[in-house]
Structure 1
Amino acid sequence: MNAVEINTLDYTILAETAADVGEREALLDRAMGAGRKRKSSEKLRRGRRPSEGLAFVARDADGRVVGTVRLWDVHAGGDRRALLLGPLAVDPSVKSGGIGSALMQHAIAEAKRLGHAAILLVGDAPYYSRFGFSVEKTGRLAMPGPYERHRLLALELADGALDAVHGVLRPAGRKVRPRVELARAA
Protein backbone atom coordinates (compact mmCIF):
# COMPACT_ATOMS: atom_id res chain seq x y z
CA MET A 1 0.00 0.00 0.00
CA ASN A 2 1.68 3.22 -1.16
CA ALA A 3 -1.17 5.58 -0.36
CA VAL A 4 -0.96 8.15 2.40
CA GLU A 5 -2.32 6.61 5.57
CA ILE A 6 -2.13 9.45 8.08
CA ASN A 7 -1.48 13.07 7.23
CA THR A 8 -0.98 15.76 9.85
CA LEU A 9 0.55 19.21 9.73
CA ASP A 10 3.92 17.79 10.81
CA TYR A 11 4.31 14.36 9.21
CA THR A 12 2.78 11.77 6.92
CA ILE A 13 2.79 8.01 7.50
CA LEU A 14 3.36 5.97 4.35
CA ALA A 15 4.09 2.40 3.40
CA GLU A 16 7.85 1.93 3.31
CA THR A 17 9.37 1.57 -0.15
CA ALA A 18 12.78 0.33 -1.32
CA ALA A 19 13.78 3.98 -1.79
CA ASP A 20 13.32 4.55 1.98
CA VAL A 21 15.86 1.93 3.12
CA GLY A 22 18.95 4.17 3.24
CA GLU A 23 17.17 6.94 5.15
CA ARG A 24 15.54 4.42 7.49
CA GLU A 25 18.89 2.78 8.30
CA ALA A 26 20.50 6.17 8.99
CA LEU A 27 17.56 7.09 11.24
CA LEU A 28 17.90 3.80 13.15
CA ASP A 29 21.63 4.44 13.66
CA ARG A 30 20.90 7.95 15.02
CA ALA A 31 18.04 6.84 17.24
CA MET A 32 19.34 3.49 18.51
CA GLY A 33 23.10 3.50 18.07
CA ALA A 34 25.49 0.99 16.57
CA GLY A 35 24.61 -1.76 19.06
CA ARG A 36 21.12 -2.12 17.64
CA LYS A 37 22.14 -4.98 15.37
CA ARG A 38 23.27 -7.16 18.29
CA LYS A 39 19.83 -7.40 19.90
CA SER A 40 17.94 -10.69 20.14
CA SER A 41 15.13 -9.28 18.02
CA GLU A 42 17.62 -8.78 15.21
CA LYS A 43 18.27 -12.55 15.15
CA LEU A 44 14.62 -13.04 14.20
CA ARG A 45 14.75 -10.35 11.51
CA ARG A 46 18.10 -11.22 9.93
CA GLY A 47 17.69 -12.53 6.40
CA ARG A 48 13.94 -11.85 6.38
CA ARG A 49 11.66 -9.23 4.91
CA PRO A 50 9.00 -7.46 6.97
CA SER A 51 5.54 -8.96 6.93
CA GLU A 52 3.70 -8.07 3.75
CA GLY A 53 2.16 -4.58 4.03
CA LEU A 54 3.53 -3.94 7.53
CA ALA A 55 6.53 -1.60 7.13
CA PHE A 56 5.93 2.13 7.51
CA VAL A 57 7.84 5.41 7.57
CA ALA A 58 6.86 8.85 8.80
CA ARG A 59 8.02 11.74 6.61
CA ASP A 60 8.16 15.35 7.71
CA ALA A 61 6.92 18.29 5.61
CA ASP A 62 10.29 18.35 3.80
CA GLY A 63 9.99 14.67 2.87
CA ARG A 64 12.65 13.50 5.33
CA VAL A 65 12.16 10.11 7.07
CA VAL A 66 11.61 10.96 10.76
CA GLY A 67 10.08 7.70 11.99
CA THR A 68 9.90 4.02 11.15
CA VAL A 69 8.20 0.85 12.31
CA ARG A 70 8.15 -2.67 10.89
CA LEU A 71 6.43 -5.92 11.83
CA TRP A 72 7.93 -9.34 11.11
CA ASP A 73 6.42 -12.81 10.84
CA VAL A 74 7.52 -15.21 13.59
CA HIS A 75 6.58 -18.61 14.94
CA ALA A 76 5.44 -18.10 18.53
CA GLY A 77 5.83 -21.57 19.96
CA GLY A 78 5.24 -24.46 17.59
CA ASP A 79 3.41 -23.47 14.44
CA ARG A 80 1.47 -20.59 15.98
CA ARG A 81 2.14 -17.43 13.97
CA ALA A 82 2.51 -13.93 15.36
CA LEU A 83 4.17 -10.66 14.44
CA LEU A 84 7.29 -9.21 16.02
CA LEU A 85 7.21 -5.42 16.11
CA GLY A 86 10.40 -3.47 15.73
CA PRO A 87 12.28 -1.50 15.55
CA LEU A 88 10.10 1.50 16.26
CA ALA A 89 12.24 4.62 16.04
CA VAL A 90 11.78 8.36 15.78
CA ASP A 91 14.48 10.84 14.83
CA PRO A 92 15.88 12.31 18.07
CA SER A 93 15.32 15.84 16.70
CA VAL A 94 11.52 15.34 16.71
CA LYS A 95 11.01 13.02 19.70
CA SER A 96 7.94 13.59 21.85
CA GLY A 97 5.97 14.94 18.91
CA GLY A 98 3.55 12.00 18.73
CA ILE A 99 5.18 10.33 15.73
CA GLY A 100 6.02 7.12 17.61
CA SER A 101 2.49 6.82 18.95
CA ALA A 102 0.99 7.44 15.52
CA LEU A 103 3.27 4.81 13.97
CA MET A 104 2.30 2.30 16.68
CA GLN A 105 -1.42 2.91 16.28
CA HIS A 106 -1.14 2.67 12.52
CA ALA A 107 0.92 -0.55 12.61
CA ILE A 108 -1.49 -2.21 15.06
CA ALA A 109 -4.54 -1.20 13.02
CA GLU A 110 -2.99 -2.48 9.78
CA ALA A 111 -1.93 -5.77 11.38
CA LYS A 112 -5.47 -6.29 12.61
CA ARG A 113 -6.96 -5.29 9.25
CA LEU A 114 -4.70 -7.83 7.52
CA GLY A 115 -5.96 -10.59 9.82
CA HIS A 116 -2.99 -11.09 12.13
CA ALA A 117 -3.83 -12.44 15.57
CA ALA A 118 -1.00 -11.24 17.85
CA ILE A 119 1.95 -8.87 18.06
CA LEU A 120 5.03 -9.40 20.23
CA LEU A 121 7.85 -6.98 20.99
CA VAL A 122 10.77 -6.38 23.31
CA GLY A 123 10.40 -2.96 24.89
CA ASP A 124 9.53 -0.80 27.87
CA ALA A 125 6.20 -1.78 29.40
CA PRO A 126 5.37 1.76 30.60
CA TYR A 127 5.50 3.02 26.99
CA TYR A 128 3.88 0.06 25.21
CA SER A 129 1.17 -0.67 27.79
CA ARG A 130 -0.81 2.34 26.52
CA PHE A 131 -1.25 0.40 23.26
CA GLY A 132 -2.43 -2.72 25.12
CA PHE A 133 0.88 -4.64 25.36
CA SER A 134 1.67 -6.61 28.52
CA VAL A 135 3.63 -9.59 29.85
CA GLU A 136 0.38 -11.46 30.56
CA LYS A 137 0.71 -13.87 27.58
CA THR A 138 4.52 -14.07 27.25
CA GLY A 139 5.44 -16.09 30.35
CA ARG A 140 6.06 -19.31 28.42
CA LEU A 141 7.69 -17.66 25.40
CA ALA A 142 11.37 -16.80 25.00
CA MET A 143 13.58 -14.87 22.61
CA PRO A 144 16.61 -16.46 20.92
CA GLY A 145 19.64 -15.08 22.72
CA PRO A 146 19.90 -12.72 25.68
CA TYR A 147 16.99 -10.44 26.56
CA GLU A 148 15.26 -9.12 29.66
CA ARG A 149 12.20 -11.31 30.26
CA HIS A 150 10.10 -8.46 31.68
CA ARG A 151 10.51 -6.61 28.37
CA LEU A 152 8.93 -9.35 26.20
CA LEU A 153 5.41 -8.00 25.69
CA ALA A 154 2.38 -9.11 23.70
CA LEU A 155 -0.86 -7.75 22.32
CA GLU A 156 -3.58 -10.13 21.17
CA LEU A 157 -5.51 -8.83 18.16
CA ALA A 158 -7.77 -11.89 18.35
CA ASP A 159 -8.92 -13.22 21.72
CA GLY A 160 -7.00 -16.31 22.78
CA ALA A 161 -4.40 -16.03 20.00
CA LEU A 162 -1.56 -16.68 22.44
CA ASP A 163 -3.32 -19.11 24.77
CA ALA A 164 -1.11 -22.10 25.57
CA VAL A 165 1.78 -20.95 23.36
CA HIS A 166 5.24 -21.79 24.59
CA GLY A 167 8.77 -22.05 23.27
CA VAL A 168 11.43 -19.90 21.67
CA LEU A 169 10.36 -17.48 18.97
CA ARG A 170 11.59 -18.46 15.52
CA PRO A 171 11.74 -16.48 12.28
CA ALA A 172 9.05 -17.05 9.66
CA GLY A 173 7.88 -15.25 6.57
CA ARG A 174 9.58 -14.04 3.45
CA LYS A 175 13.33 -14.37 3.08
CA VAL A 176 15.52 -11.67 1.60
CA ARG A 177 16.61 -12.63 -1.89
CA PRO A 178 20.40 -12.64 -2.31
CA ARG A 179 21.78 -9.79 -4.42
CA VAL A 180 23.14 -12.23 -7.01
CA GLU A 181 19.65 -13.66 -7.47
CA LEU A 182 18.23 -10.14 -7.75
CA ALA A 183 20.80 -9.18 -10.38
CA ARG A 184 19.88 -12.23 -12.50
CA ALA A 185 16.20 -11.40 -12.23
CA ALA A 186 16.71 -7.85 -13.55
Structure 2
Amino acid sequence: MTVIEQETAADHDAVEALLDLCFAPGREALSSYRLRDGVAPVAALCLVAREEDGSLAGAIRNWPVRILSPGGKKWALLLGPVAVHPTRQGEGLGAALILRALEGARRDGWSRVLLVGDLPYYRRFGFRRLEGVEMPPPTNPDRILGLALREGAWDGVTGRVVRAPG
Protein backbone atom coordinates (compact mmCIF):
# COMPACT_ATOMS: atom_id res chain seq x y z
CA MET A 1 0.00 0.00 0.00
CA THR A 2 1.27 3.46 -0.92
CA VAL A 3 0.71 6.36 1.48
CA ILE A 4 0.87 10.04 0.52
CA GLU A 5 2.32 12.22 3.26
CA GLN A 6 4.29 15.41 3.74
CA GLU A 7 7.94 15.29 2.70
CA THR A 8 10.36 15.44 5.62
CA ALA A 9 13.96 16.64 5.78
CA ALA A 10 15.00 12.98 5.87
CA ASP A 11 13.35 12.48 2.44
CA HIS A 12 15.41 15.18 0.68
CA ASP A 13 18.10 12.94 -0.82
CA ALA A 14 15.61 10.26 -1.88
CA VAL A 15 13.41 12.88 -3.57
CA GLU A 16 16.41 14.35 -5.40
CA ALA A 17 17.43 10.84 -6.54
CA LEU A 18 13.89 10.22 -7.80
CA LEU A 19 13.90 13.52 -9.70
CA ASP A 20 17.28 12.63 -11.24
CA LEU A 21 15.88 9.26 -12.30
CA CYS A 22 12.70 10.70 -13.83
CA PHE A 23 14.05 13.79 -15.57
CA ALA A 24 16.76 14.39 -18.11
CA PRO A 25 20.23 15.46 -17.02
CA GLY A 26 20.43 19.21 -16.65
CA ARG A 27 16.92 19.51 -15.19
CA GLU A 28 18.17 22.19 -12.83
CA ALA A 29 19.01 24.43 -15.79
CA LEU A 30 15.30 24.83 -16.59
CA SER A 31 13.78 28.26 -16.07
CA SER A 32 11.49 27.06 -13.29
CA TYR A 33 14.53 26.07 -11.24
CA ARG A 34 15.80 29.67 -11.36
CA LEU A 35 12.57 30.66 -9.61
CA ARG A 36 13.30 28.14 -6.85
CA ASP A 37 16.94 29.13 -6.18
CA GLY A 38 17.32 30.49 -2.68
CA VAL A 39 13.60 30.14 -1.91
CA ALA A 40 12.20 27.59 0.52
CA PRO A 41 9.46 25.37 -0.87
CA VAL A 42 5.99 25.46 0.66
CA ALA A 43 6.71 22.59 3.05
CA ALA A 44 3.07 21.66 3.70
CA LEU A 45 2.59 21.14 -0.05
CA CYS A 46 5.70 19.03 -0.67
CA LEU A 47 4.44 15.48 -0.63
CA VAL A 48 5.84 12.00 -1.11
CA ALA A 49 4.18 8.74 -2.03
CA ARG A 50 5.80 6.20 0.26
CA GLU A 51 5.78 2.43 -0.21
CA GLU A 52 5.33 0.06 2.75
CA ASP A 53 9.09 -0.54 2.80
CA GLY A 54 9.70 3.22 3.14
CA SER A 55 10.96 3.75 -0.42
CA LEU A 56 9.55 6.58 -2.50
CA ALA A 57 7.22 5.88 -5.40
CA GLY A 58 6.57 9.54 -6.13
CA ALA A 59 7.03 13.12 -5.02
CA ILE A 60 5.69 16.60 -5.67
CA ARG A 61 7.03 19.96 -4.55
CA ASN A 62 5.51 23.45 -4.65
CA TRP A 63 7.15 26.88 -4.44
CA PRO A 64 5.94 30.44 -3.92
CA VAL A 65 6.49 32.88 -6.80
CA ARG A 66 5.42 36.44 -7.57
CA ILE A 67 3.96 37.80 -10.79
CA LEU A 68 4.86 41.40 -11.59
CA SER A 69 1.39 42.29 -12.81
CA PRO A 70 0.31 45.82 -13.78
CA GLY A 71 -2.14 45.73 -10.86
CA GLY A 72 0.62 44.91 -8.39
CA LYS A 73 2.68 41.91 -7.37
CA LYS A 74 0.57 38.78 -7.22
CA TRP A 75 1.46 35.60 -5.36
CA ALA A 76 1.14 32.22 -7.06
CA LEU A 77 2.08 28.68 -6.23
CA LEU A 78 4.54 27.11 -8.69
CA LEU A 79 3.59 23.44 -8.90
CA GLY A 80 6.36 20.99 -9.59
CA PRO A 81 8.35 19.11 -10.08
CA VAL A 82 6.17 16.04 -9.82
CA ALA A 83 7.83 12.66 -10.35
CA VAL A 84 6.73 9.04 -10.21
CA HIS A 85 9.16 6.14 -10.17
CA PRO A 86 9.23 4.49 -13.63
CA THR A 87 7.97 1.19 -12.19
CA ARG A 88 4.85 2.95 -10.86
CA GLN A 89 4.02 5.24 -13.79
CA GLY A 90 0.61 4.84 -15.39
CA GLU A 91 -1.10 3.90 -12.10
CA GLY A 92 -2.53 7.33 -11.30
CA LEU A 93 0.02 8.12 -8.60
CA GLY A 94 1.08 11.40 -10.24
CA ALA A 95 -2.56 12.49 -10.44
CA ALA A 96 -3.08 11.58 -6.78
CA LEU A 97 -0.07 13.69 -5.77
CA ILE A 98 -1.27 16.65 -7.85
CA LEU A 99 -4.82 16.46 -6.51
CA ARG A 100 -3.63 16.22 -2.90
CA ALA A 101 -1.31 19.21 -3.41
CA LEU A 102 -4.08 21.27 -5.02
CA GLU A 103 -6.46 20.35 -2.20
CA GLY A 104 -3.86 21.48 0.33
CA ALA A 105 -3.18 24.71 -1.58
CA ARG A 106 -6.88 25.53 -1.58
CA ARG A 107 -7.15 24.72 2.14
CA ASP A 108 -4.08 26.86 2.92
CA GLY A 109 -5.51 29.92 1.16
CA TRP A 110 -3.61 29.97 -2.15
CA SER A 111 -5.60 31.60 -4.95
CA ARG A 112 -3.68 30.61 -8.06
CA VAL A 113 -1.35 27.86 -9.24
CA LEU A 114 1.17 28.09 -12.07
CA LEU A 115 3.22 25.42 -13.81
CA VAL A 116 5.17 24.71 -16.97
CA GLY A 117 3.83 21.55 -18.58
CA ASP A 118 1.77 19.78 -21.19
CA LEU A 119 -1.79 21.09 -21.44
CA PRO A 120 -3.24 17.74 -22.60
CA TYR A 121 -2.09 16.18 -19.30
CA TYR A 122 -2.86 19.05 -16.90
CA ARG A 123 -6.20 20.08 -18.46
CA ARG A 124 -7.98 17.32 -16.49
CA PHE A 125 -7.03 19.10 -13.25
CA GLY A 126 -8.49 22.38 -14.54
CA PHE A 127 -5.31 24.04 -15.80
CA ARG A 128 -5.46 26.29 -18.85
CA ARG A 129 -2.91 28.16 -20.93
CA LEU A 130 -2.09 31.56 -19.44
CA GLU A 131 -1.93 34.52 -21.80
CA GLY A 132 0.48 37.27 -20.85
CA VAL A 133 2.23 35.46 -18.00
CA GLU A 134 5.96 35.25 -18.75
CA MET A 135 8.32 32.69 -17.27
CA PRO A 136 12.07 33.29 -17.46
CA PRO A 137 13.49 32.30 -20.87
CA PRO A 138 13.74 29.95 -22.53
CA THR A 139 10.18 28.84 -21.77
CA ASN A 140 7.68 27.97 -24.46
CA PRO A 141 4.67 30.25 -23.78
CA ASP A 142 2.29 27.45 -24.81
CA ARG A 143 3.47 25.45 -21.77
CA ILE A 144 2.73 28.16 -19.16
CA LEU A 145 -0.42 26.91 -17.46
CA GLY A 146 -2.51 28.16 -14.58
CA LEU A 147 -5.35 27.10 -12.33
CA ALA A 148 -7.57 29.44 -10.32
CA LEU A 149 -8.27 28.02 -6.88
CA ARG A 150 -10.60 30.96 -6.19
CA GLU A 151 -13.09 32.37 -8.68
CA GLY A 152 -11.39 34.96 -10.92
CA ALA A 153 -7.94 34.53 -9.35
CA TRP A 154 -6.19 34.82 -12.74
CA ASP A 155 -8.41 37.62 -14.08
CA GLY A 156 -6.19 40.49 -15.21
CA VAL A 157 -3.01 38.83 -13.93
CA THR A 158 -0.23 39.21 -16.50
CA GLY A 159 3.47 39.93 -16.35
CA ARG A 160 6.82 38.40 -15.47
CA VAL A 161 7.09 35.57 -12.97
CA VAL A 162 9.87 36.20 -10.45
CA ARG A 163 11.27 34.50 -7.37
CA ALA A 164 9.49 35.08 -4.12
CA PRO A 165 11.50 36.98 -1.54
CA GLY A 166 13.88 34.50 0.10
- TM more than 0.5: yes
3-state SS, counterpart of residue 34 of structure 1: coil
String of CA shifts for 1:88-125, please: whole Å, max 9, x gaps. 11111211111101000000000000000000000011
* Structure 1: gaps (5+ residues): 1-8, 176-186
How far does residue 52 in structure 1 lie from its aligned partner after superposition?
A: 4.1
- Which of 7, 13, 16 is equivalent to 1:22? 13
String of CA shifts for 1:141-165, please: whole Å, max 9, x gaps. 1001201111100000011111111
Superposed CA RMSD: 1.1
- Residue identity opposite 2:112 in structure 1: A
Identity, % of aligned positions: 44
3-state SS, counterpart of residue 76 of structure 2: strand
- Tell me if structure 2 keeps the 8 A contact 1:134–1:154: yes
- Tell me if structure 1 keeps the 8 A contact 2:6–2:43: no
- Which of 39, 61, 65 is equivalent to 1:70? 61
Matched, 1:50 2:41: yes
3-state SS, counterpart of residue 88 of structure 1: strand
**In 1, distance between residues paired with 2:135 and 2:74?**
15
- Tell me if structure 1 keeps the 8 A contact 2:7–2:47: yes
Question: Normalised by the size of structure 2, how large is the TM-score?
Answer: 0.94
- Tell me if structure 1 keeps the 8 A contact 2:7–2:43: no
**In 2, distance between residues paired with 1:160 and 1:52?**
26
- Residue identity opposite 1:38 in structure 2: A
Matched, 1:140 2:145: no
**In 2, distance between residues paired with 1:73 and 1:97?**
29
Residue correspondences, number:
163
- Tell me if structure 1 keeps the 8 A contact 2:111–2:150: yes
**In 1, distance between residues paired with 2:24 and 2:58?**
15
3-state SS, counterpart of residue 101 of structure 2: helix
Question: 4+ residue runs of structure 1 moved beyond 4 angstroms?
Answer: none
* Structure 2: gaps (5+ residues): none
How far does residue 77 in structure 1 lie from its aligned partner after superposition?
A: 2.6
Look up the match of 2:121: 127
